[in-house]
């Protein structure tokens, strides 16, 4: 029997999902399992790594059963994961020493601030492309080792292993035979030299992380061993791995310099492929590994928006508009043209390129005839304005990556709205390609796995399996869009934490 199906495991922050694809990239079946969140203290977020592995096996077996297929028909398994979340486990027993610390966890913020005060950030950024922030894995790893007596000594003696969720799941699926991660996940740890493509002794010393803890770093399409036959009803080769945003970049077919994607969920991640050039950002955007294939790394600029779809949720819950995002859209479409209302949704601060965690939200430009319709419209526009912020910054950081055919490929919850996607194109003055298939993260992992098992002849053939897109070109008056964006920038300046406030 010919093995032509690809299995994808998408281990996310709130759920673990498995999807079975055929060789053309079409979904055959899907199954998801929710993931419990643990909040032991203020700013602390944890996951049970054992629960994650159990859920992974459950959904992988379940999706094969749902599709009426078996392991022998699967050519390869691809894994994608929530980035930066990290766990430490016992090499001998395979048991975690404690819960995994999630990317959202902020408990190591004082450590990052102390390192920044010592002047460490410029060198860290030069090596990793990242900023000193508890978002990334290094300070989390050090915290775990210091959280229990004897753990650091055991780590230095080689008794413990560590990894992000891809590494953990692969280690468990292979029965402890493979301790490996890919270059995209490694590039999010603050321990990986993205230029030399290796763990940095300098960074390991700075963050106090023993090298013996860390996995081997491999390509995104590579040999990650095979699953234990008793887990999935037969052995399946693991041949693709990538962090979730890089997997989505592949799933959107963004394999050439200048191609970019944005995923609109609670927040938004925008990645621009810069090819083999690791562009340095003057706007404090992140420089990260986009993919590594055949030993050659390509890079991306990454910008994060803290609040995108969450602004619609605020309209629902905070302003009492029932019916989810669909009702917020219906309301927004009744707004008066040119109403002049601007929402800066800095409910948890401002992300890139502003990086102002102490900024707070503002609703500006209201008059006596402002209604909920105008506020709802401003919530959608805020996502588009923030996207333009990132695109404008990326144009400055990587001007050669932008060509006349530049298109922003979008996925995620807000992209389901063709109306929003057109608004996005109009405000950002950039064509928007709306994906017909939303699970581009899982698809990207499957495409990497297809490359790894040679189901695809090359990266171009793999990218050809991406979903079709509906293209929206910028419409309306460009001058009016530019004026609206200028008003947005003025509004941002008003709510910044360093803005001068006059009381009279």
pLDDT value of position 383? 94
Q: Is it the case that residue 504 has pLDDT exceeding 80?
A: no
pLDDT value of position 322? 87
| Contact criterion met (CB below 8 Å) for 435 and 410 | yes
Predicted confidence band at 400 (pLDDT cuts at 50, 70, 90)? confident
Select the more confidently predicted residue: 237 or 323: 237
The pTM for the full model equals 0.88
pLDDT value of position 282? 87
Predicted confidence band at 502 (pLDDT cuts at 50, 70, 90)? very low
Mean pLDDT of 475-493: 91
What's the 3-state SS for 258-312?
CCEEEEECCCEEEEEEEECCCCCCCCCCEEEEEEEECCEEEEEEEEEECCCHHHH
Tokens in use for 43? 């700013």
pLDDT value of position 499? 64
Task: Give me the percent of the chain exceeding a pLDDT of 90.
Answer: 65
pLDDT value of position 501? 44
Task: Give me the percent of the chain exceeding a pLDDT of 70.
Answer: 98
| Contact criterion met (CB below 8 Å) for 426 and 475 | yes
Which of 324-328, 368-372, 400-404 shows the lowest mean pLDDT across its residues?
A: 400-404
For all residues of the chain together, what is the average pLDDT? 91
First CA to last CA distance, the chain: 80
Predicted confidence band at 4 (pLDDT cuts at 50, 70, 90)? confident
Q: Is it the case that residue 95 has pLDDT exceeding 90?
A: yes
Q: Is it the case that residue 327 has pLDDT exceeding 80?
A: yes
Predicted confidence band at 466 (pLDDT cuts at 50, 70, 90)? confident
Give CA 453 to chain center in angstroms. 25
Q: Report how far residue 49's alpha carbon sits from residue 161's, in angstroms, rounded to the nearest whole number.
A: 13
3-state SS class at 381:
helix
Give the count of alpha carbons within 13 A of 324, CB side only. Answer: 5
Q: Is it the case that residue 193 has pLDDT exceeding 60?
A: yes
Nearest residue to 382 (alpha-carbon basis) of 365, 407, 401, 398: 365
Q: Report how far residue 231's alpha carbon sits from residue 158's, in angstroms, rounded to the nearest whole number.
A: 28
pLDDT value of position 298? 96
Most confident segment among 76-80, 282-286, 355-359: 76-80
Question: Radius of gyration of the chain from Cα atoms?
Answer: 23
pLDDT value of position 503? 32
Q: Report how far residue 405's alpha carbon sits from residue 327's, in angstroms, rounded to the nearest whole number.
A: 34
Mean pLDDT of 146-160: 94
Predicted confidence band at 398 (pLDDT cuts at 50, 70, 90)? confident
């Amino acid at each position: 029997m010919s093995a032509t199906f690809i299995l994808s495991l998408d281990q996310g922050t709130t759920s673990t999902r498995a999807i079975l694809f055929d060789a053309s990239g079409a979904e055959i079946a899907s199954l998801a399992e929710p993931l419990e969140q643990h909040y032991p203290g203020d700013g602390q977020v944890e996951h049970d790594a054992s629960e994650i592995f159990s859920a992974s096996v459950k959904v992988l077996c379940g999706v094969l059963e749902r599709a009426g297929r078996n392991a022998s028909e699967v050519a390869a398994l691809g894994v994608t994961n929530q980035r930066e979340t990290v766990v430490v486990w016992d090499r001998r027993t395979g048991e975690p020493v404690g819960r995994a610390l999630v990317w959202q966890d902020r408990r190591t913020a004082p450590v990052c601030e102390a390192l920044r005060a010592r002047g460490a950030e410029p060198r860290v950024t030069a090596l990793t492309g990242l900023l000193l922030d508890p978002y990334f894995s290094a300070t989390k790893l050090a915290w775990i080792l210091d959280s229990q007596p004897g753990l650091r000594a055991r780590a230095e003696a080689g008794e413990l292993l560590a990894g992000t969720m891809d590494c953990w799941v692969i280690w468990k699926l292979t029965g402890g035979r493979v301790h490996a991660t890919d270059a995209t996940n490694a590039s999010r740890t603050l321990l990986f030299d993205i230029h030399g493509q290796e763990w940095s002794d300098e960074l390991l010393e700075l963050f106090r992380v023993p090298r013996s803890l860390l996995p081997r770093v491999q390509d995104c399409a590579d040999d990650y061993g095979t699953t234990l036959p008793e887990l999935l009803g037969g052995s399946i080769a693991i041949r693709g791995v990538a962090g979730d945003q890089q997997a989505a970049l592949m799933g959107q077919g963004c394999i050439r310099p200048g191609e970019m994607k944005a995923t609109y969920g609670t927040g938004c991640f925008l990645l621009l492929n810069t090819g083999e050039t690791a562009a340095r950002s003057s706007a404090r955007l992140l420089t990260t590994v986009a993919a590594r294939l055949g030993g050659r790394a390509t890079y991306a600029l990454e910008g994060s928006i803290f609040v995108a779809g969450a602004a619609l949720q605020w309209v629902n819950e905070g302003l009492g508009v029932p019916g989810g995002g669909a009702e917020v859209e219906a309301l927004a479409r009744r707004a008066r043209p040119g109403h002049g209302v601007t929402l800066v949704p800095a409910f948890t601060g401002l992300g890139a390129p502003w990086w102002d965690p102490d900024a707070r939200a503002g609703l500006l430009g209201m008059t006596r005839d402002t209604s909920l319709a105008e506020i709802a419209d401003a919530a959608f526009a805020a996502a588009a304005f923030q996207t333009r912020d990132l695109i404008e910054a990326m144009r400055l950081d990587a001007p050669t990556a932008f060509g006349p055919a530049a298109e922003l490929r979008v996925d995620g919850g807000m992209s389901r709205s063709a109306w929003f996607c057109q608004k996005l194109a109009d405000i950002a003055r950039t064509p928007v390609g709306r994906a017909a298939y939303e699970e581009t993260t899982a698809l990207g992992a499957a495409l990497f796995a297809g490359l790894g098992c040679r189901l695809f002849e090359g990266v171009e053939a793999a990218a050809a399996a991406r979903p079709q897109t509906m293209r929206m070109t910028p419409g309306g008056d460009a001058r009016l869009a530019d004026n609206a964006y200028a008003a947005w920038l003025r509004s941002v300046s008003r709510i910044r934490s360093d803005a001068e406030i006059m009381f009279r």
